[in-house]
Amino acid sequence: MGNTSSMLTQYDIEEVQEHCKHAFSQQEIVSLYQRFCQLDRSGGGFISADEFLSVPEFAVNPLSQRLLRMLDGLNFKEFVAFLSAFSPHVSLQQKIEFIFKLYDSDSNGKVAFHDMLDVLRDLTGQFISEQQREQVLTEVLEEAGYTKDSMLVLSDFVKIIFQTSCWNFEEPFLSIAFLLRKGVFALG
Amino acid sequence: MSLSLSFSFSLAPIRRREKKQQPTAMDTAGKLNSSSSELDLDRPNIEDYLPSGSSINEPHGKLRLRDLLDISPTLTEAAGAIVDDSFTRCFKSNPPEPWNWNIYLFPLWCFGVLVRYLILFPARVLVLTLGWIIFLSSFIPVHLLLKGHDTLRKKLERVLVELICSFFVASWTGVVKYHGPRPSIRPKQVYVANHTSMIDFIILEQMTAFAVIMQKHPGWVGLLQSTILESMGCIWFNRTEVKDREIVAKKLRDHVQGADNNPLLIFPEGTCVNNHYTVMFKKGAFELGCTVCPIAIKYNKIFVDAFWNSRKQSFTMHLLQLMTSWAVVCDVWYLEPQLLRPGETPIEFAERVRDIISVRAGLKKVPWDGYLKYSRPSPKHRERKQQSFAESVLQRLEEK
């Protein structure tokens, strides 16, 4: 399967665990490594954008290009750290931070109107006109107490996403726990 | 996850019809309705199958900032795909658990290796060489000398091809159990089977001389294809040629009309899959207007994993691997012929037959086109997701 050495030593596993702040168990890290080797077909120790896009389920996702900017050229340690936002053992604050980082494309700690517009464009494509998108965004921003020129920071995001009364704490948020739990790396 | 997939399969035909009746909110200058290539029409709504983040599509009341900023369902889907996806699973050959790990079993395993490589393998090579000698010494004269007597020549060629395939199967110690009525030579019928390796063809050819439609291969396989298989009436296609599809479709139609052409065998998956899953069937075989006879093939993995991963192994290596294993054990089921039902589209027909084959052979169905191995999915699928999100946003904006 993988041309790279598919053997992880105990030391490697612990190092990766440290790096992702214990978001995954050792068994999960081994499974993720198998998956990493499977995707890394060229055996270069990192997964290229092309190799990610060869997974059809990922390629049809509207946010795939945005995620690829964060994923391209990651080695295994960084790959696990990236996925740690989706672990059930990570705090909600950290998950929102991941979403924030995705919006904040220039990494200046602030999300502006055009950042939010960019993501909305990725999600809606050609099915809403640009003008209507701006209008919708402005409307909901104003309704939430912000303006078109507001720069949102992480704490704003946390407040916005958690504040609604229909927030359900039982439902998993940003979690791939069900996949890891099933141990889907075996066939079937 | 597989449970939810099978559930949505039963819903799929119903949901698809419902989708057609809903007018699209944004009918912008007909841009939505054009599909970029003919390849798109092959696949029904994949959205019906994919476990999608449902909260995007379930509008609850007025649109708020939170609904636009919370992209977690889409992100979870993406992360889920990165960690495990049903497409890659189809082409993964899981090596069996090593059983030779202790002091008693290891020498036994070593002994087994010696027997396989030093006794069985040479014996098999001998059998195969013998078979080829007999075959070539009969086939070449028959082919060249009986040019005038076509029916007799065809009959002899059929028998000879079945013979050489039996030799091939013997060279892997193939134990094939055939179930069901043997195929007969009749016009207006086509056989379809699931595809695991090129040896599928040899195993089926051993019983009946089929005319198959295959990709032209390079090397010695290509040579065999252009000489021997040509005489069986085989049809070639080229995956990369777009115009090729129409030419091939015509050839197929002509072939099934002919009363003494060999029965046509098609592998509608279009690529080799690992014998645990089936990928989407191409509709080409199902719109010829004739009876479709499904054949299910299942290999027993205990003896050898017959999956040919054409990206990792050449066919020669694959054959050598088979010849140095203990045996190739498989079951072949000839299933009940199916006809297109009134009101059924070819795609639905293909799915129905795929269902029949998958159930018989114990394979799981996967909603992906095998050709995604070589190309990216069409933007149509992403656009559909975008469209449904856009519609829900606009709809919720209206609500006060």
Give B175-189 pLDDT, tens digit per residue: 999 999 988 888 888
pLDDT at site B54: 42
As given in the structure block, the two tokens for residue A172 are 């998993």
Most confident range (mean pLDDT) of B32-46, B79-93, B285-299 is: B285-299
For residue B81, give the nearest of A57, A143, A180 by CB distance.
A57
Interface test with B, best of A3, A84, A122, A127 (most B CBs within 10 A): A127
Cβ count near B292 (within 10 Å): 23
Same domain, A66 and A114: no
> CA–CA separation, B164 vs B367, rounded Å?
37
Same domain, A57 and A39: yes
Band of pLDDT at residue B8, cut at 50, 70 and 90: very low
As given in the structure block, the two tokens for residue A105 are 């494309």
Residues 233-292 of B with CB under 8 A from A: 274, 276
Q: Which residues of B touch A125 (CB under 8 A)?
A: 382-383, 386-387, 390
pLDDT at site A119: 92
As given in the structure block, the two tokens for residue B343 are 């009101």
| Count of pairs with CB atoms under 8 A, one residue in A, one in B | 172
pLDDT at site B27: 33
Q: Where are the domains of chain B?
A: 174-374
Residue B382, chain A, CB below 8 Å: the answer is yes
**Higher local confidence (pLDDT), B21 or B258:** B258
Give A11 to chain B, closest Cα distance, Å.
Answer: 23
Contact B1 A179 (CB under 8 A): yes
DSSP string, A111-128: B-HHHHHHHHHHHHGGGS
Domain range for A180: 10-89+175-184
Contact A188 B385 (CB under 8 A): no
Give A34 to chain B, closest Cα distance, Å.
Answer: 10
pLDDT at B73 over 50: yes
Q: Which residues of B touch A175 (CB under 8 A)?
A: 76
Same domain, A73 and A41: yes
Residue B400, chain A, CB below 8 Å: the answer is no
Instruction: Let me know: does B53 contact A173? Beta carbons within 8 Å.
Output: no
Is A5 part of any domain?
no
> CA–CA separation, A86 vs A98, rounded Å?
9
Q: Give chain A's mean pLDDT.
A: 84
Q: Which residues of B touch A180 (CB under 8 A)?
A: 83
Q: Which residues of B touch A55 (CB under 8 A)?
A: 81-82, 85, 87-88
Band of pLDDT at residue B251, cut at 50, 70 and 90: confident
> CA–CA separation, B311 vs B373, rounded Å?
10
Residues 337-366 of B with CB under 8 A from A: 364
> CA–CA separation, B385 vs A59, rounded Å?
12
**B251: Cβ contacts below 8 Å, ≥ 6 apart:** B235
Q: Which residues of A touch B92 (CB under 8 A)?
A: 1, 38, 187
pLDDT at B87 over 50: yes
Give B223 to chain A, closest Cα distance, Å.
Answer: 30
Q: Which residues of A touch B43 (CB under 8 A)?
A: none
pLDDT at site A68: 92
Interface test with B, best of A37, A48, A55, A119 (most B CBs within 10 A): A55
Give B122-152 pLDDT, tens digit per residue: 999 999 999 999 998 998 888 888 777 788 8
Residue B39, chain A, CB below 8 Å: the answer is no
DSSP string, B137-192: HHHHHHHHHTSS-HHHHHHHHHHHHHHHHHHHHHHTTEEEEEESPPP---SSEEEE
**Higher local confidence (pLDDT), B355 or B29:** B355
Band of pLDDT at residue B204, cut at 50, 70 and 90: very high
Q: Pick the closest to residue B196 from B307, B299, B333 (CA basis).
A: B307
Q: Which residues of B touch A187 (CB under 8 A)?
A: 89, 92, 94, 274, 276
Contact A58 B368 (CB under 8 A): no
Q: Give chain B's mean pLDDT.
A: 80
pLDDT at site B334: 94
Same domain, A55 and A15: yes
**Higher local confidence (pLDDT), B284 or B329:** B329
For residue A136, give the nearest of B82, B383, B397 by CB distance.
B397
Same domain, A111 and A154: yes
Is A180 part of any domain?
yes
Closest residue, chain B, to A51 (C-alpha):
B82
pLDDT at site A168: 65
Is A2 part of any domain?
no
Contact B69 A188 (CB under 8 A): no
Give A79-119 pLDDT, tens digit per residue: 999 999 998 888 888 888 999 999 988 888 888 999 999 99
Closest residue, chain A, to B89 (C-alpha):
A187
Residue B365 phi/psi, 5-degree rounding, is -90, 145
CA B126 to chain centroid, in Å, comes to: 32
As given in the structure block, the two tokens for residue A50 are 């092309």
Contact A83 B82 (CB under 8 A): yes
Contacts 24+ apart (CB under 8 A), A109-114: A109/A153, A109/A154, A110/A151, A110/A152, A110/A153, A111/A151, A111/A152, A111/A153, A111/A157, A112/A151, A112/A152, A113/A137, A113/A141, A113/A148, A113/A149, A113/A150
pLDDT at site B2: 34
Q: How many CA atoms lie within 13 A of B377 on its CB side?
A: 26
- Give all strands of the β-sheet with B211-215 in edge-to-edge order: B174-179, B328-334, B291-299, B189-193, B264-266, B211-215, B235-237
Integer Rg of chain B from CA: 25
Same domain, A81 and A96: no
Region of A104 (left: φ > 0; alpha: ψ -120 to 50; beta: rest) is beta
pLDDT at site B336: 92
pLDDT at B203 over 90: yes
Is A102 part of any domain?
yes
Share of chain B above pLDDT 90, in %: 28
As given in the structure block, the two tokens for residue B374 are 């070589």
The complex scores an ipTM of 0.88
If one counts the domains in chain A, the total is: 2
DSSP H/E element including B213: strand B211-215
Give B94 to chain A, closest Cα distance, Å.
Answer: 7
B237: helix, strand or coil:
strand
pLDDT at site B355: 94
pLDDT at site B175: 92
Structure letter (DSSP) for residue B47: G
Residue B292's DSSP bridge partners are B190, B338
pLDDT at B13 over 70: no
CA B227 to chain centroid, in Å, comes to: 25
Contact A102 B390 (CB under 8 A): no
Mean pLDDT, to the nearest integer, of B224-249?
81
Band of pLDDT at residue B400, cut at 50, 70 and 90: low
Contact A128 B394 (CB under 8 A): yes
CATH at residue A109 = 1.10.238.10
SS3 content of chain A, % helix, strand, coil (to 5): 60, 0, 40
Interface test with A, best of B6, B28, B68, B365 (most A CBs within 10 A): B68
For B5, B46, B121, B270, B285, the CA distances from B368, given in Å and listed in that order, are 12, 8, 38, 12, 18
pLDDT at site B198: 87
pLDDT per residue as tens, chain A (188 positions): 333 446 789 999 999 999 988 888 888 888 889 889 888 888 888 899 989 998 999 999 999 999 999 888 889 999 999 999 998 888 888 888 999 999 988 888 888 999 999 999 999 988 889 999 999 899 888 888 888 888 888 888 888 887 765 566 667 788 887 666 655 444 33
pLDDT at B21 over 50: no
Q: Which residues of A touch B79 (CB under 8 A)?
A: 83, 86, 174, 176
Same domain, A17 and A67: yes
Same domain, A31 and A76: yes
User: Crossing angle, helix A154-163 and helix A92-103, to 10 degrees?
Assistant: 120
pLDDT at site B392: 87
Give B341-373 pLDDT, tens digit per residue: 999 899 999 999 999 999 999 999 988 888 888
As given in the structure block, the two tokens for residue A173 are 């948020």
Contact A174 B32 (CB under 8 A): no
